[in-house]
Amino acid sequence: MTKRFVERIQQLQEFFLEAGLARSVLALSAPRMLAISAPTAESSGPASIFSSAVTEPEIEEVSRDLFASGHYSLAVQEAYKAVEKYVSLKVGPSPMNGTQLMESAFSPSNPKLHWTGRQTTSELDEQKGYQRLYSGAMLGIRNPVTHEFNWIEDADVALELLIFAQHLLKKAKLAHLSTGSPQRDVA
């Protein structure tokens, strides 16, 4: 199971590399993955991998107990709600949520949150790409786990989605609030 999980992470890394998002791909750095010891019956379980891979407090706090008790859909749901809540608090009051919030917050033409000055093609591509990743995560992950009972029943899939939520949260924490909007103190 651990080997399959590592292979899936590697596939995700390759995808990000091909998409041109390789500089800040995963919230989980390679040395941490290499530090995982050889699988044993006690140390290779999903709960063990969760505790070493999911380290962002906002994600860990809302999903740890749900994941450990096998409520994978709820763990993923709460993690993506935490990402949405963080972005919402950082951009300030808005009637939007979910996909609309992410499309507005990370808009390439008029973003509320950005990482660069969006002057070069690569900087614009990063903004566009992450806008799609954030809005896609709300549409393709958060919505189904919110509206469908037990949408995710596999621990490995849940771990992958939790790590992706963690990456999105870390990336949002690095984003700058566009001028003209009041800075929100989001810890």
Tokens 């972005």 -> residue: 87
Question: Which stretches does DSSP call E strand in 6-136?
Answer: 113-114
pLDDT of residue 35: 45
Confidence of residue 80 (pLDDT cuts 50, 70, 90): very high
82, 169 contact by CB (below 8 A):
yes
Q: Does the pLDDT at position 24 exceed 70?
A: no
The least confident of 38-42, 72-76, 90-94 is 38-42
Question: pLDDT tens digits, residue range 137-156?
Answer: 999 999 999 999 999 999 99
pLDDT of residue 33: 45
Element housing 177 (H / E): strand 176-177
Spatial neighbors of 111 by CB under 8 A, at least 6 apart, are 105, 118, 127, 131, 178
pLDDT of residue 182: 40
The residue type at 75: A
Q: Does the pLDDT at position 114 exceed 50?
A: yes
